[in-house]
Structure 1
Amino acid sequence: MFANSETKGHVAHVDEVSSSKHHDGPVNLGLDYENIEKRYWRSPRFLGTCLAIIFMANGLFIGYAIPVNILNVIDADIGPSSNISLVTLINTLCQGIFFILVGSLSDAIGRRYFIIAGELSGVLGAILGATAKDINWLIGAGVFVGFAAAVQISYPLLVMEMVPNKYRFWGQGAISFMVLPTLGFGPLIGRVIVQNVHGSNGGWRFTYWLSAIVNGISLILFVLFYFPPAFHDLQARKSRVKQALQVDYAGFGIYACAIVCLLLALTWGGQQDPWNSAKIIALLVLGCVGLIAFVLYEVYMPLADPILPMSLFKIRNYYLAVIIGAIAQMSYYALNVFWPTHVSALYTTDNMKIGWLSSTTGTALAIGEIVMGPVCHRIGHFRTQLVAATTGLCIFGGLLGMANEHREGLAIACTAMSGFFVGWLELLSIVMAGLVVPPEKIGVAQAFHGSTRAVTATVAVAIYLAVFDGRITVDLPREVVSFATSAGLPSSSTTDLLLGVANGTTAALEAVPGMNKTILAAVGAGTKRGYAMSLSTTYLTSLAFGGLALITCFFIKDISEYLTLFVNKKVDGTLHGEQSEEEKV
């Protein structure tokens, strides 16, 4: 029914509130806003669930955004270890693997216990991280934190299920406002904690204790207040045993193996191992072949409950929303990864100032969602909005390539505006991906949307790092030598100069034959120029992704017809017109 026509699919899943259980799959349990008791929106279960989601979303960013910005401090305290990068890699892997499983299964059997399990995992992971005695221990904690993140990253889905369709943009903007402190200022918070919380156990541990507290509060709130439709509501014709037997274990296994191979190849390639090494090539081939095998398996196997229903990709606006969201994420990661390096290499070495300036991208992204959330529906013309947001991202992403060591103000303005337009794009793509699919498939639809963004973000980072590493090995020595010799350094000392630059200490540079204060200052200026040129090339590379997103936007159909008063699920343990015990009082 939903595969044949977007319009017909809309009529079926938006305008007809079906309570019949005539099929052998999850049931659409939504209803119209007008059929919900007004007291429901003020009930403890609804308000308690809202508060739980706020804490869950902040727990997601506290558990990742803060530690990832202080890994050098952690490594210095309980390391050093060559495995320190695995602390963040394991988080990415767990999100990429488990998010789609959580989304698919929770559609079929209910979300309550998945959410509770995820928050419990977040608490355990944070406690293990706070008490870690070495890096390997911290990596183990990252498995629990990563599984929690695979659940917590579904916070937009929970918000959108609870509010009428026409207010989903508003809901996404509201939750973005609530996570602004941790999403926007995560890098700064981490640096403030490290700088001001002292003790023999390391101030960084407090970031994990903070995560444990926030996740713990969220866990308690979900246990007490979150009661969405349960298994017996969603699967009237199935027993729990039958549902367990119909889970697409093989499909999930193929998908998980493919994603692990692909993410490992993209993370290690060019860093731990050369791109042409046998290990990286093998991982890339296995990952790509695995994804192809997964698609073929899901298409041709007669599965009762596929882990990823291929019928979703017959809905044009859905797969276009996935593409646009993924490309927006790829463009954003050029800023997210290189902006802190840009700041520290060109403008300042002050730890706190780096933290403040590094926060501009995340803060601007959240502000983009906050500002546009309440007005997207009123503006309408969603294709035009997508084109405008993508165009703005391309313009300011291109201008950022002009932000050299003498244009700090331009750099800050461009990162802020680029972040704003990414936020606008993400708002549109996230809401659209959930609106145009059948309501009983919203979990898996949003999960695939999120998993795709995680994978493409890793692809983007690999591309940007390859471009930057390729340019910096050329630009940095050329500019340093040019500036130094122009200031009077003998050409016979250039080899020693480059060795001193590679060493990275003032003492090594001062030991270069013929070095003086004037030449030393010129070396500093040449270093900045080399970094500026390499960063410029990297930023301009992101325009290719922006251009692809812009082309994709023109194929989007209008989604105004979906913006009705349909509410996907109630969270007070009642169905349709039933009243909860709270409402009866």
Structure 2
Amino acid sequence: MDGETMSKEAVVEMEDHVRVPPISAQLSELPPGYFRSSLFLGSMAAVGIGLLAAISSFALAAPILGVINEDIGPSSNISWVAIVYTLMIAVGLTIVGRFTDIFGRRHTFIGGAVLGVVGSIVCATAPTVGALIAGMTLVGLAASTQVSYFYVTAELIPQKYRFLGNAIMYVFMIPGGAFAPAIANSCILHTPGGWHSTFYIVIAIQAAALFCWVAFYRPPTFEMKHRDKTRREYLVKFDYIGTALFAGGLLCFLLGLSWGGAVHPWKSAHVLATIIVGGVSLIVFALWELFARLEEPLVPITLLASGPWTAAVVTSGIGASLYYALTIVWPSMVAIVYPSGDLITDGLRASIVGACWVSGEIVSGIVAKPVGRIKLQCIVTLTLAGVLLGCMATSDPDSSTRATVLLSFSCFLAGYVEGLSLTITTLALEDQQQMGAGCGFGGSIRFTITTVATTIYTVVLSARLSATIPDQVPPALVSAGLPASSVATFIGSLASGQSLADIPGVTASIIAAGIRAYRSANADAYRTVFLSTIAFTGIGIITTLFLPNTDALMTDEVSTTLHHKKDEKLARAVAHV
């Protein structure tokens, strides 16, 4: 070849001898040893380690934000560390999915891994809370590629093994998802770096993921996906207006929900304006996607016309919302209602939520296909999870064992149904080549549902605590003999963990009575939160009734095949004719 392009005759002759790998294939069409090759195993490792990095980045920091704030703060903006992480993922999932559907996934996912490394370094060395927020923003952007694991995994393996494939991914989550509180507390107590050590761990994980993405992950390139098109054509037709409406609207809406009651009062202009503007922008976005006659819309709006796919997305969102509710309530219950006095023991007990949740996800993926009737599995497990969570409302300061058992089984069952329904979102797509757009948009919906649910749980808890503590603790303290003038100081010191011994008029019996009343008041507040989960599980049970029959969808098709670097050169040569 002596020119810039090859002639059509040369291409035909080349294709007679060298075949450009197909972007999808049947299981029987793949070469022997394909699933034992370094390309496949290395790509699976990249997805799994990347998922561990995304989970660990937040899960290790979240339980110790108070400690971090004391060291590099204090700052009232510490809540932004959690807020920016969630916002970046929620918005990024849809954009990453659609963009990589068009232009190929390799370079975007490598870029995400690079951001993960850089962001983790910024977090580890942050001298101020502002710097930590900046680092977590980068980590959140990286995580929008890393938490796309469920569809990246799904498209690399035969459809009939997708549940098992995601179960393997959930195994990678165990250290960060199951034992994060215990690991974080151990870093504080037993490492010279203290809280910084949690991010040192994350840096190593992010670097390992980056290596695997670069070395092994080679999905179809742009030229393989669009042999007769150019990048310029797709860049011109890309839905920039829809992207701006979606990103801006979802950011504002979720930001308003995250601000309410935490950063600003619910009636403040900050909260109301962001929620209203965000909501209106999302409505305009939906209308734009419906009526603008776009060649390359950000979201194929026909997705929402698919009842089975929508049901799977909502069910997975409901399942995830239960997890986030428990991550808010249970660690607080352990610290306040059931404290052991030992930081490591409390950390392990707080880890029950993540450990049982991940266990449920893993088991669901392993047994889904052998057991069959996956829709019925979702209905039964979500119903049982809802019943057990409702029973958690019977918990009081003297029922720690019962509460722990109920919580463990409810987390396992909720994780089970969430693992199944998330995989169903990949199977229910009519066009498997729109996996990124469909599942990315579904992921954004899922995060929106969890944010709404978490907001409701937080508001309910805050409202109940503002009622139960004043109603129960002051009378108990006064009855025990504490002067009324010291009641407010006692409650404030107890809530902040300060010493109670120096409060005027206090005695050992008064302290015991006050602590007991404080624990009972908190237990009553948590009871209302557990009762509120019934509304969400009820909605989830209804949506499970509309899930598709996945038995017919579990075929031998592999939606995306991997290739070698030399295949990219041939694809470029063919595309340039």
Alignment TM-score > 0.5, same fold? yes
Counterparts in 2 of 1:575 and 1:311: CA distance versus 1, 3 Å: farther
Q: Which amino acid aligns with 2:530?
A: Y
d(CA) in 2 for partners of 1:293, 1:137: 35
- Pick one of 231, 251, 254 that aligns with 2:245: 254
* 1:474 alignment partner, one of 446, 467, 470: 467
Task: Name the counterpart of 1:402.
Answer: 394
Aligned partner of 1:494 in structure 2 is 484
> What is the letter of the counterpart of residue 490 of structure 2?
G
The answer on 1:124 being equivalent to 2:92 is no
The yes-or-no answer on 1:363 pairing with 2:349 is: no
1:375 counterpart = 2:367: yes
Q: How many angstroms apart in 1 are the aligned matches of 2:161 and 2:498?
A: 57
Measure the CA separation in 2 of the matches of 1:28 and 1:388: 40
Counterpart-to-counterpart distance in 1, 2:445 and 2:485 = 46
Match of 1:192 in 2: 186
Match of 1:503 among 483, 493, 500: 493
Distance 1:282 1:179 in 2: 37
| Corresponding residue to 1:207 among 180, 198, 209 | 198
- Contact 1:366/1:423, CA 8 A, preserved across alignment: yes
**Change in CA separation of 1:508 and 1:48 when aligned onto 2, cut-off 3 Å:** closer
1:463 aligned to 453, 456, 459, which one?
456
Determine the structure 2 residue equivalent to 1:448. Answer: 441
* Equivalent residue number for residue 221 of structure 1: 212
Equivalent of residue 327 in structure 1, options 306, 318, 322: 318
Gap regions ≥5 residues in structure 2: 1-20, 572-577
SS of 1:83's partner is: helix
| Cα pair 1:500 1:509 within 8 Å, conserved | no
Q: Which residue of 1 aligns with 2:265?
A: 274
Mapped to 2, the partners of 1:570 and 1:435 lie a distance apart of 17
Amino acid at match of 1:326: G
* Cα displacement (A) at 1:511: 3.0
**Which residues of 2 match residues 134-145 of structure 1 at below 5 A?**
134-145=128-139
Deviation at 1:114, TM superposition (A): 0.9
Deviates more, 1:557-566 or 1:527-536: 557-566
Is this contact kept in 2: 1:62–1:186, CA < 8 A? yes
Question: What aligned pairs does 1:79-94 form with structure 2 within 5 A after superposition?
Answer: 79-94=73-88
Give the one of 512, 516, 524 matched to 2:515: 524
Change (3 A) 1:506 1:203: closer
* Structural mapping, 1:273-352, within 5 Å: 273-348=264-339, 349-352=341-344
After TM superposition, the structure 1 = structure 2 runs for residues 164-203 of structure 1, keeping only pairs within 5 Å, are 164-198=158-192, 202-203=193-194
Q: Secondary structure of the equivalent of 2:398? A: coil
Cα deviation digits, residues 473-514 of structure 1 (max 9, x gap): 111122213433443x27xx335313321233665575344x
| d(CA) in 2 for partners of 1:284, 1:565 | 45
- Which residue of structure 2 aligns with residue 429 of structure 1? 421
- The equivalent of 2:524 in structure 1 is 533
The residue type equivalent to 1:305 in the other structure is: E
**Distance in 1, Cα, partners of 2:85 & 2:554:** 35
For the residue of structure 2 that corresponds to 1:38, the secondary structure is: coil
Q: Secondary structure at the match of 1:229?
A: coil
SS of equivalent to 2:153: helix
Aligned-residue offset at 1:33:
0.3
Contact 1:510 1:520 survives alignment (8 Å): no
SS at 1:306 equivalent: coil
In the alignment, is residue 103 of structure 1 matched against residue 94 of structure 2?
no
Q: Pick from 397, 405, 413: which aligns with 1:413?
A: 405
How far is 1:556 from its partner? Answer: 2.3
CA distance in 2, matches of 1:236, 1:172: 31
Corresponding position of 2:556: 565
Per-residue CA deviation, residues 239-289 of structure 1 (Å, 9 max, x unaligned), is 011111111111111111111111111111112222112221111111111
Q: Whole-Å Cα distance in 2 between the matches of residues 534 and 291 of structure 1?
A: 34
Comparing 92-101 and 28-37, the one that deviates more: 28-37
- Contact kept, 8 Å, 1:434 with 1:446, in 2: the verdict is yes
Shift of residue 575 of structure 1? 12
> Which amino acid is the alignment partner of residue 400 of structure 1?
M
Checking the alignment, whether the CA contact within 8 Å between 1:130 and 1:209 is kept in structure 2 is yes
Task: Tell me the CA shift for residue 88 of structure 1.
Answer: 1.6
TM-score (norm. length: structure 2): 0.91
TM-score, L = length of structure 1? 0.90
**Cα distance in 2 between the residues matched to 1:219 and 1:277:** 43
**Alpha-carbon distance between aligned partners in 2 of 1:47 and 1:93, rounded to the nearest angstrom:** 31
Inter-partner Cα distance in structure 1 for 2:489 and 2:470: 10
Q: Percent identity?
A: 30
1:63 aligns with 2:53: no
In the alignment, which residue of structure 2 is the partner of 1:36?
A: 30
Contact 1:258-1:288 within 8 A present in 2 as well: yes
Amino acid at match of 1:530: A
CA–CA separation in structure 1 for the residues paired with 2:566 and 2:282: 38
Taking structure 1 as reference, are residues 28 and 454 closer, same or farther at Cα in structure 2, changes over 3 Å only?
farther
Q: Distance in 2 between matches of 1:457 and 1:571?
A: 34
- Check conservation: 1:228, 1:569, Cα contact below 8 A: yes
Of 234, 240, 258, 1:243 maps to 234
Cα deviations by residue, 1:398-451 (Å, 9 ceiling, x for unpaired) = 111112111111111122112111211111211111012111111111112211
CA distance 1:506–1:168, change in 2 (3 Å): closer
Contact 2:493 2:499 in 1 (8 A): no
1:62 is paired with a residue of what secondary structure? Answer: helix
Tell me what 1:16 maps to.
Answer: none
Map Cα deviations across residues 458-483 of structure 1 (whole Å, 9 max, x no partner).
11121111111111111112221343
